[in-house]
Chains A and B, each alone.
Chain A
Amino acid sequence: MLGFIIQRVLQACLVMLVISALVFTGVYAVGNPIDVLISPDATQLIREQTIRAYGLDQPLWKQYLDFLGRLARGDFGRSFVYNMPVLDLIFSRLPATLELTLAAVLGATALGVPLGMYAGYRPDSPVSKAIMAISILGFSVPTFWIGLVLIFTFAVSLGWLPAGNRGDTAALFGIQWSFLTWNGLMHLFLPALNLSLFKFALMVRLARAGTREVMLTDTVKFARAAGLSEGTILLRHVLRLIAIPIVTVFGLEFGSTLAVAVATETIFSWPGVGKLIIDSISTLDRPVMVAYLMLVAFFFIMINLSVDVAYAALDPRLRTRRAA
């Protein structure tokens, strides 16, 4: 197991290097940030000074190598717009996105998997049909529209929940979290619900398909013949057998939501990284874009690694193959 993890970490370093080159060139191609950096009425002299100060007069490969050199010292550069270290900037926004994403993905899984299993266990019952109808809605209705409807219904018309922002936060491990205060939780609820609908639909479908398939197998029939109750069969046999695709999708959804929860964060004015990256793209804030994209790549690598470790925990057959 340790060998496997070391191998994966080396692999991850290589991937990060390739990503950094791709991202750096890509962002370079998007446009010259100099126009954003100085006011339009600045003199030619100031313009050239600024270009030199940021190293923008150097060829691309030189800029990239400088960037790598600073990276090796843990320096991602400073944001052009906020004029503060990029990492500090991103990490000041990250907890907001992290808790929003976690709430959405965990909520969707915790609710979607049991409901999906029920729909797979009793495919013809009216309740199952209702569950499937909701899941079709979750798939087909655009997130931003649902967000607006949620705000209109619960914040504007009913006035039960706040329409935006993080609300009160409390510190844990030196980071501010909304979910630790009641007010923060109320603020978290609507955006998390908005984000989770699509994931909920996905989990319902996955769990349903898996359950339907497993229920027909001899494993279930044999368990029934031994006198196991239906609840025990679903909980101990079926859930374990359908877990692998669920964990896979959980990882993918977690990663992609962490990276781009933009629509929801914008609609609910949630001060997370999604909004930050959109702002920095429109202002051509290069260091933020580069650092953010690399961070996203890093998250995906870590998530995939955890998913692989989870596979081995869930399926003993994968364990032996790896050891061999």
Chain B
Amino acid sequence: MLLIDCPYCGKRPEVEFHCGGEAHIARPETPTAVEDADWGSFLYYRTNPKGLHAERWLHGHGCGRWFNALRDTVSDAFVATYEMGKPRPDRDATAASTSSNA
């Protein structure tokens, strides 16, 4: 079971959370103006990387708030968690911030 560092509550077990899939996917502003291929891409295509993955988590059985996380899909280790609306941290920044948070 994963130990997840909620930015609002701290470290809690995975059973308190729900994973909301890949983060930073913007819904097209005007769906009617979008080509089928692009709409299909928005709906169905995900990065699915073997490596760092930015994803949304909901602390449903805790503070009830959504946040984003950067996690390594090979080791399942969380590299960083950050608030919704913030840009995805780059690798160097996350190395610094996780060490300062720890």
Query: Do A and B originate from a single complex?
Result: no
Give the interface of B toward A (CB within 8 A).
none
